[in-house]
Amino acid sequence: MKLPVDGVQAFVQIAELGSYRRAAETLGLTQTALTRRIQKLESFLGLTLLDRTTRTVRLSPVGGEFLPLATRLIADFTHGVERLRTTSRLAVGDVTVATVQSIAFRRMPSVLRAYAGAYPRNRVQILERSGALVTEAVRKGEADFGIHIHQKSNTDLVEDQLVSDPFVLICDRGHSLADQSEVRWAELGATDLITLGGASGNRLQVEAQLTAAALPPRGRFVVESTPTAIALVSAGVGAAILPAALKGATQRDDLVEIMLIEPEIYRTISLVRRRNVSLTPAAATLYDMLKIELSASSNSIKDLGGAA
């Protein structure tokens, strides 16, 4: 049996006002309902807290000893509720987000700048992971939510699929393919390819398509991160197959992006969170801001001539 907080509140009101009638009016109760609350509290404690006659009510000796404790309990409870309401209203709290590196690198900075301006008291931790490890971090509760590349449905998670992001070939302007706006997968055989390794969802899609084009499933150079791939491209080492979301990320004029066709393949960027687990107000606010940003980019992201 749990402590009846409403009974403690009723007891404190009666003690302060010295009247069942006035206490009932203050709490918006009938005197009968107020009496039931006191009886339930006394039954829980196994003590008589109030001595009542037809005209008067006063604290019993043990009721007098209980009053300071009861007053503190109600004050602490009221303060705690107000603190929770304030936290919810102001979306105050720390947030941990697991994300694939390409989104952290390209899409998150502008959102985090806006979030930090609106919620200066909140701390945000970014866990940069491969797609599979993003899902695992969310599932284990290490992150409030994640941003990953959709691969398969997970019954214990909820996904918002937001952006279909095409793969492109990134090369330097001196490359033999640099003047083309499109290139077929089957035409990549003579190109020194740079591809992503590790547990990346991008890797799985690219390797499957290279295999379908009767090409080696892995590039001549396999790297773990997008910045490394772009650095190798810039140095003239080869051409990288990367998501179009990263176009323009280097702010360099010596690199070009070429659409890969026959077929065009896309990765789907999703927000993911645990099913039946509510986000904190702070996390929910950032989740919604990222959802708006990523959704807004879904139209322009396929336009290789525009900013993304």
pLDDT on residue 306: 30
CA dihedral of 113, 117, 120, 123, whole degrees rounded to 10: -20
In Å, how far from its chain's centre is CA 204? 25
pLDDT on residue 275: 94
Confidence of residue 252 (pLDDT cuts 50, 70, 90): low
CATH superfamily to which 95-162+268-302 belongs: Periplasmic binding protein-like II (3.40.190.10)
Fold classification of 5-90 (topology level):
Arc Repressor Mutant, subunit A (1.10.10)
Domain spans, the chain: 5-90, 95-162+268-302, 166-266
Tell me whether domains 5-90 and 95-162+268-302 share a fold: no
Q: How much is the CA Rg of the chain, to the nearest whole Å?
A: 31
For the chain, strand residue ranges (E) read 50-52, 57-59, 95-99, 124-128, 145-149, 157-172, 182-184, 193-196, 221-223, 239-243, 255-261, 266-274
pLDDT on residue 199: 64
Separation of alpha carbons 270 and 150, rounded Å = 6
Confidence of residue 297 (pLDDT cuts 50, 70, 90): low
**Structure token pair of residue 71:** 């007053």
Secondary-structure class of domain 166-266 per CATH: alpha beta
For the chain, the average pLDDT equals: 85
pLDDT on residue 203: 79
- Whether the pTM exceeds 0.75: the reply is no
